[in-house]
Structure formats: structure tokens, C-alpha cells
Amino acid sequence: MTTATIESADVRTSTRDRAVPKPIPFSRILGVELRKMFDTRSGFWLMASIGILAVVATGAVIIFAPDDQIDYGAFGSAVGVPMTVILPIIAILSVSSEWSQRSALTTFTLVPSRARVIAAKATLTVAIGVVSMLVALGVGAVGNVVGSALAGVDQTWNISPSEFAQIVLADGIGMLMGFMLGVLLRSSPAAVVGYFVYSLVLPGISGALANATDWWNQHGAWFDLNWASGNLYDDMTGQMWAQLGVTALIWLVLPLAVGLRLLMRAEVK
């Protein structure tokens, strides 16, 4: 009996000799991540709502504010309020939607370095925060010019550059808080709820505690980031800056470090 041994004849060698592709530059990741913030309906309307709400808030001040209160401060704060809600949500979703929508599977197979993707998202979060505040204050400035003219009062420009910088910082902290929650929880609903607990529920508890105990009333600002960053809307003393630093360390830096560490190693499913 003869047994023919047929070699696996169709083992082909790769005919696709080609150059190893160039690494993906960080600028490209930034561009793609920016695009991803706008390219869904929810993302688009969140971004658009920054401008829309700024115009609505400005209109409301013109219509409802008494003539003697029409000044840049009134417009600035009216426009700033919706920002404190929208900007953190943008920051949350930029990270958490990758997990909630499971697009992280594609994102991290196209860019295996999670650190670079997250760094791009963090950079954009800060940039969008600053740009949004500039847009808001620009709309507010137009409102102030129009509102003053309509009310027949002199234009009052009562926000100094340093005050403006502090307001941007306060909103930036809110945004980073959202970013931190997105990184730490990696779930859109949990992070959004977490942010509202932080920004709406905790100040109430802290306030009640300050009323009840003298110690918290004296020292609470060392532990409560809402409290410490709320001071940014007024004149800051050296102690207030120190309190801001300490609370930011407790509420932002430490949880962000833990969240990043977990995110780098977490299984993407």
C-alpha cells in the first residue's frame, strides 16, 4: 500500500511586503476626538446649547432685569449659570460614552495607547471649557451693549480680567470634576448622577453641617470643593487659594489618579 503524503501546498508566503506605517501623531488623535464630541445628535446639541443658552440667558436679562441692574456682571453671571451644568456633562460624556456606547472597543484597537486617547480628551475638555467661556462672555458683552442701549443706561463693564480668569477657573474645576467622574465611573448615567450629587446635593449637606457645627463652619472650606471653588466668584485671599488647592487635591487629583490607573488596565468589553 502506498501512502501519498501531500504537502500542504497552499502555504503562501506573504506577498505584501511593505513599509511599517508611521506612528499616529497626537494632533491627529486630538482632531479625531474633537470630531467625536460633535458627531452625534446629543454631542452636537450639547455643544450648540452652549451658544443657544448664552443667547437665551442674555435675552432674559435684557427683558427681565431692572434697568439699574443692566451691567456686564449681570450678563456674565446669567450666561455663566447654564455653563456650569453643560460643560461638566460634555466632559463626562467625552470619556464615559466610550464605555456606555462601547465604542472604546474600536477606539483602543485603533489607538492602543489609552493614555494618549485620554490625554487628548482631557486637553479638549479644558480647551472647550475656555472657548465656551469666551463665547459666553462675548454673547454677554453683546447683550450688555444692546441691553444698555435699549434701557437707555450707560454701559457698565464691571468684570475685570482677573475676575474673568477666576470664573473660567471655577468652571474649569467643574468640568474637570465631570472628567474625573467619567474616568472613574466609566458609565454615563452613573457619572452624570455623580456630578449632580456633587454639585447639588453635597452643598446642601455641607451648608446644613456648617449651621449645625461651628467646627465645620470654620474649617469646611478645607474639605468642600464646592465651597472652596465658590469663593472664586469673589475676591480670593491667600487662605482661600490654599483651601482651593487642598480641596482640589482631595476631590480631583486623587480620584483622577485612581480612575486613570483603573482605566489603563480595565478590560474593554
Partner 1 sequence: MIKVESLTKKYAGFTAVDDVSFTARPGRVTGFLGPNGAGKSTTMRVMVGLTEATSGSTTILGRRFADLPNPGREVGVLLDASAQHAGRTGREILTIAQRTMGLPKSSVDETLERVSLTESEAGRRVRNYSLGMRQRLGIGVALIGDPEVLILDEPANGLDPAGIRWMRDLLRGFADQGGTVLLSSHLLHEIEVIADDLVVIGNGRIVAGGTKDELLAAGGTLVRAADTAALAAALAGAGIGYSAADRGALLADAELAVVGQAAFAAGVPLTELRAADGAGLEEMFLALTAESQRDQITVQEGTAA
Among the candidate windows 64-72, 103-111, 163-171, 200-208, which touches partner 1 by CB under 8 A?
103-111
Does residue 106 belong to the site contacting partner 1 (CB under 8 A)? Answer: yes
Residues 5-44 that bind partner 1 (CB under 8 A): 8, 10-16, 18, 20-24, 28-29, 31-32, 35-36, 39-43
Reduce the secondary structure of the chain to three states and give it as a string: CCCCCCCCCCCCCCCCCCCCCCCCCHHHHHHHHHHHHHCCHHHHHHHHHHHHHHHHHHHHHHHHCCHHHCCHHHHHHHHHHHHHHHHHHHHHHHHHHHHHCCCHHHHHHHCCCHHHHHHHHHHHHHHHHHHHHHHHHHHHHHHHHHHHHHHCCCCCCCCCHHHHHHHHHHHHHHHHHHHHHHHHHCCHHHHHHHHHHHHHHHHHHHHHHHHHCHHHHHHHHHCCHHHHHHHHHCCCCHHHHHHHHHHHHHHHHHHHHHHHHHHHHCCCC
Least distance from C-beta 39 to partner 1, angstroms?
5
Which residue of 49, 113, 123, 187 would you call a contact of partner 1, by CB under 8 A?
Answer: 113
Among the candidate windows 50-58, 130-138, 174-182, 261-269, which touches partner 1 by CB under 8 A?
261-269
Does residue 101 belong to the site contacting partner 1 (CB under 8 A)? Answer: yes
Which residue of 4, 64, 68, 109 would you call a contact of partner 1, by CB under 8 A?
Answer: 109
Number of residues in contact with partner 1 under rule CB under 8 A: 43
Does residue 63 belong to the site contacting partner 1 (CB under 8 A)? Answer: no
**Interface with partner 1 (CB under 8 A):** 1, 8, 10-16, 18, 20-24, 28-29, 31-32, 35-36, 39-43, 97, 101-106, 108-113, 265, 267-269
